[in-house]
Amino acid sequence: MKGISSIFKKGEIAFTALESAIVMTAFLVIAVVFSYVIVGAEHSTFETVTTNEVVERSGPSIELAGSVIAKASDSKVNNIILTLQLAKDQPPVNMGVDSSQGLMIISYLDRVTYVASTNWTKNFVGENDGDELLEQYEKVEINITAPANSTLQSTEAGDVVNSEFRLEIKPETGEVIPVSSTIPAQIDTVMSLKHTSMD
């Protein structure tokens, strides 16, 4: 009788060990599933943040700050001057020393002429740290030479007045900035032009 009793006790102990193993396995499965869900959620959040950053950064890197100015002499427009600044939340843009470096390209188009890359020089206005990067709170003045054979350089004053032209500013990074302008009916030495930077 004693032997049978001890057998049952061993069976109970064995059954209890089996139950414990099952419970532990269940806990492990739950822990693995829970970890997978947490990691998946974090990965999804990271992808969302990264996607949002890419969308934010894919817009224009620079924008116009103020008027488009034309300088003329002898009824011809010789220079177009505009001021640029960084667009909101954009990283610094390397402007280069001038057009010769090819870091920023400005093309010109009117009814008779297209120039893929105009000649321009730059001058930072206001506070800046002295390098070639356009950074937040800095402004840079771009002086573009009117292309030869363009309507702006016509010897006929009638061709210059009321003429329209388009600039496309192509920085090292970011979208192209189109600027369309119109020369007024009267040619002055310095003129503030009607313009739009919308496509």
CATH number at residue 166: 2.60.40
pLDDT of residue 157: 82
Q: Do 111 and 18 fall within a single domain?
A: no
Domain residue limits at 16: 1-58
Identify the DSSP state of 171.
-
pLDDT of residue 34: 66
Is the confidence at residue 6, as pLDDT, over 60? Answer: no
> Which of 19, 42, 58 is the last residue in one of the domains?
58
The Cα 121–Cα 141 span in angstroms is: 8
The string of pLDDT tens digits covering residues 105-129 is 999 999 999 999 999 999 999 999 9
The Cα 93–Cα 171 span in angstroms is: 7
3-state secondary structure of 47: helix
pLDDT of residue 28: 75
Is the confidence at residue 143, as pLDDT, over 70? Answer: yes
Residue pair 89/52 in contact (Cβ under 8 Å)? The answer is: no
The string of pLDDT tens digits covering residues 146-169 is 999 999 999 988 999 999 999 999
Q: Do 92 and 177 fall within a single domain?
A: yes
The string of pLDDT tens digits covering residues 77-105 is 999 999 999 999 999 999 999 999 999 99
Q: Do 116 and 161 fall within a single domain?
A: yes
The average confidence (pLDDT) of the chain is 84
Q: Do 10 and 90 fall within a single domain?
A: no
Q: Do 107 and 14 fall within a single domain?
A: no
> Which of 17, 32, 58 is the last residue in one of the domains?
58
Give the H/E segment covering residue 193.
Answer: strand 190-196
The structural domain count of the chain equals 2
Residue pair 49/101 in contact (Cβ under 8 Å)? The answer is: no
Residue with more model confidence, 53 or 30? 30
pLDDT of residue 195: 83
Residue pair 178/167 in contact (Cβ under 8 Å)? The answer is: yes
> Which of 41, 58, 75 is the last residue in one of the domains?
58
- What pTM value is reported for the model? 0.70
Q: Do 42 and 68 fall within a single domain?
A: no
pLDDT of residue 2: 52
pLDDT of residue 16: 72
Residue 90: both structure tokens together: 């954009």
pLDDT of residue 42: 54
Q: What count of other Cβ atoms lies within 10 Å of the Cβ of residue 89?
A: 10
The Cα 64–Cα 85 span in angstroms is: 6
3-state secondary structure of 50: helix
